[in-house]
């Protein structure tokens, strides 16, 4: 029997004449293999946000973390944080929730000597709600109650309910830095540790103590593997989570490749060579579609754009409420580049990315570049520019630092208040404080972050120019 029969797919026809009678010159085994490859490609496109989350959860568990605990970075992340486009200019707190045993409480402190920018997402990385000054509590702080799928009980008084479609998920919380000085880093860490995260107590019991797991400078591998490992991660997610009504059409296609509730995983191992081939095709498709995301650009005449389609952004913020739209292809592009979704993108932060220089060429391969940041960027908190590996979309490995921004100590400004940033294998003379190191081989991309974007940003009265090759 071919591997697909063991998965529970329809049996392969016994007669070798069946395909010929349909005008197809393939054996039944060849037909079945091509069917597995097709369905595997679709599984990658559909399952990208779930696998993205699953890999982060796996990485947290690998460093000793567990359910309803908080991963945090005691300093801004370095390249060992191999998640997709993380922010190296903030202090991260990432609570991972598991509501299999009931609701979970996320307490956000009031903004005072610090502030939180962030959101809670379900396992599909669909946002439940934003928190902090740009969220529901408006900076006053609050107790958010994450509810498991199908929760029917009354929500206790004093809690902000956040129903989740999945049992597991996470919150991405940034304790905002005033600067990158050691004192300001310590202050942001101390403020972030005022977060509380615990299962909802029962029968008047006291809350359990919040457990924080320091992930700084530890391997945190969560880039997307475009091979059979993707399907192993997707299988782990399917075993743990309920089918959403909008996704039930995927039950049979996944069963055909060996992913089904209660499955043993034997068929996944048997189909490994087919998965490797399908994953390479899916990666090529996503790369092709990624180019399309940057058209039209945010600013006319540039290559800067939000790396997500308008349909996806609308669907993400409305839980895909439009009955005639489910943009899983553009969703795959977005979560192949990054993790996390905000409920109201632009309220607390906004992102622009470029993969090309002024001349429309991919950046990298040992060249040096300059980005001129005009004076007075329209932000209340800070701005930053970060370089990422163009293949993995993670921080470039083995670099001293990955970004520069308005909160970088010693950043040099021009006389008019503008800033020139440099990207390349080596720093221009006297410009180390404004330099972001890259490697001599491969492509890189740049993500420009606006934290606390002002109205003038969206009015585009301030414009970020293209990145230019340095002579």
Instruction: Give mean pLDDT, residues 47-69.
Output: 98
User: Per-residue pLDDT for 26 more than 60?
Assistant: yes
Pairing of strands 435-437, 419-424: parallel
Q: Do 184 and 245 lie in a common domain?
A: no
- Asked if 310 and 396 sit in the same domain, the reply is yes
- What DSSP designation does 356 have? B
Rounded to the nearest angstrom, the gap between the alpha carbon of residue 51 and the centroid of all alpha carbons in its chain is 10
Residue 346 has pLDDT above 80, yes or no: yes
Q: CATH no. for residue 195?
A: 2.60.40.1610
Instruction: For residues 27 and 25, give the distance between their C-alpha atoms in angstroms, rounded to a whole number.
Output: 7
178 and 87 co-located in one domain: yes
Which segments of 271-403 does DSSP mark as H helices, in order? Answer: 272-293, 310-317, 328-337
Quick one: 436 and 310 in the same domain?
Answer: yes
Beta bridge partners of 214: 72
pLDDT digits (tens, 9 = 90+) for 422-456: 999 999 999 999 999 999 899 999 999 999 999 99
Residue after which a domain boundary falls, among 180, 198, 218: 218
Q: Where are the beta strands (DSSP E) in 267-418?
A: 349-354, 369-373, 379-389, 403-405
| pLDDT at site 20 | 53
Q: DSSP for 454-465, please give it.
A: -HHHHHTSS-PP
Nearest to 93 by CA among 199, 207, 211: 211
Range 178-198 average pLDDT: 97
State whether 300 and 443 are in the same domain.
yes
CATH code, domain carrying 459: 2.60.120.600
**Poorest-confidence range of 23-37, 164-178, 206-220, 370-384?**
23-37
Number of domains in the chain: 3
pLDDT-based confidence at residue 265 (cuts at 50, 70, 90): confident
Of 183, 214, 229, the residue nearest 47 (C-alpha): 229
User: Do 304 and 267 share a structural domain?
Assistant: no
Q: Are residues 194 and 301 in the same domain?
A: no
374 in the same domain as 236: no
The helices-and-strands tally (H runs, E runs) of the chain is: 11, 20
Question: How many whole angstroms separate alpha carbon 59 and alpha carbon 347?
Answer: 30
- Half-sphere exposure (Cβ direction) of 221: Cα atoms closer than 13 Å: 4
- Indicate if 317 and 461 belong to the same structural domain: yes
Helix (H) / strand (E) element for 97: namely strand 91-98
Mean pLDDT of 200-205: 91
Cα separation, 28 vs 13, whole angstroms: 7
269 phi/psi in degrees, rounded to 5: -65, -40
Q: Which of 286, 317, 333 is the last residue of a domain?
A: 286
Burial class (CB in 10 A: 0-12, 13-18, 19+), 324: exposed
- What is the 3-state secondary structure of 121-137? EECCCCEEEEECCCCCC
- Domain holding 400, by residue range, is 294-469
pLDDT confidence of 458, banded at 50, 70, 90? Answer: very high
Q: What is the pLDDT of residues 305-335, one digit of tens each?
A: 999 999 999 999 999 999 999 999 999 999 9
Output the average pLDDT for the chain. Answer: 94
CA dist 176 to 12, 19, 187, 277, 369, Å?
58, 62, 10, 43, 28
Which of 193, 218, 243 is a domain's end point? 218
Clarify whether residues 301 and 429 are in a common domain.
yes
349, 407: one domain = yes
How buried is residue 120: exposed, middle or buried, by Cβ count under 10 Å (0-12/13-18/19+)?
Answer: buried
Q: Are residues 133 and 27 in the same domain?
A: no
């Amino acid at each position: 029997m071919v591997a697909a029969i063991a998965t529970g797919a329809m049996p392969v026809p016994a007669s070798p004449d069946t395909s010929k009678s349909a005008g197809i010159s393939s054996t039944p085994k060849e037909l079945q293999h091509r069917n597995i490859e097709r369905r595997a490609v679709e599984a990658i496109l559909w399952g990208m946000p779930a696998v993205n989350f699953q890999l982060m959860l796996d990485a947290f568990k690998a460093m000793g973390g567990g359910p309803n605990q908080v991963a945090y970075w005691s300093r801004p992340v370095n390249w060992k944080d191999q998640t997709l486009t993380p922010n190296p200019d903030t202090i991260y707190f990432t609570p991972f929730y598991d509501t299999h045993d009931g609701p979970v409480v996320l307490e956000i402190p009031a903004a005072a000597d610090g502030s939180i920018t962030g959101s809670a997402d379900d396992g599909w990385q669909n946002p439940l709600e934003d928190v902090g000054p740009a969220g529901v509590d408006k900076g006053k702080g609050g107790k958010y109650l994450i509810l498991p799928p199908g929760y029917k009980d009354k929500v206790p008084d004093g809690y902000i309910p956040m129903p989740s479609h999945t049992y597991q998920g996470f919150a991405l919380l940034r304790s905002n830095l005033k600067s990158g000085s050691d004192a300001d880093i310590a202050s942001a860490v101390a403020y972030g540790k005022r977060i509380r995260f615990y299962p909802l107590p029962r029968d008047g019991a006291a809350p359990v103590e919040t457990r924080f797991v320091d992930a700084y400078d530890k391997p945190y591998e969560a880039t997307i593997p475009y091979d059979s490992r993707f399907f192993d991660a997707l299988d782990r997610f399917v075993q743990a989570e309920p089918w959403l009504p909008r996704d039930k059409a995927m039950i049979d296609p996944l069963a055909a490749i060996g992913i089904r509730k209660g499955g043993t995983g034997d068929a996944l191992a048997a189909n490994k060579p087919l998965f490797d081939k399908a994953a390479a095709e899916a990666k090529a498709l996503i790369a092709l579609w990624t180019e399309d995301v940057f058209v039209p650009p945010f600013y006319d005449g540039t290559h800067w754009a939000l790396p997500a389609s308008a349909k996806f952004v609308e669907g993400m913020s409305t839980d895909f409420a439009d009955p005639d739209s489910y943009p899983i292809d553009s969703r795959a592009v977005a979560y192949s580049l990054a993790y996390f979704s905000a409920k109201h993108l632009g309220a607390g932060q906004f992102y622009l990315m470029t993969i090309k220089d002024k001349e429309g060429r991919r950046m990298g391969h040992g060249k040096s570049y300059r980005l001129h940041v005009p004076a007075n960027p329209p932000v209340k908190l800070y701005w930053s520019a970060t370089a990422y590996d163009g293949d993995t979309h993670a921080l470039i490995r083995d670099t001293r630092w990955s970004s520069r921004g308005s909160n970088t100590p010693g950043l040099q400004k021009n006389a008019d208040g503008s800033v020139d940033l440099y990207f390349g294998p080596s720093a221009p003379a006297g410009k180390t404080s404004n330099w972001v190191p890259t490697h001599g081989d491969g492509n890189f991309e740049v993500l420009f972050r606006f934290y606390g974007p002002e109205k003038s940003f969206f009015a585009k009265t301030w414009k970020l120019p293209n990145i230019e090759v340095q002579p």
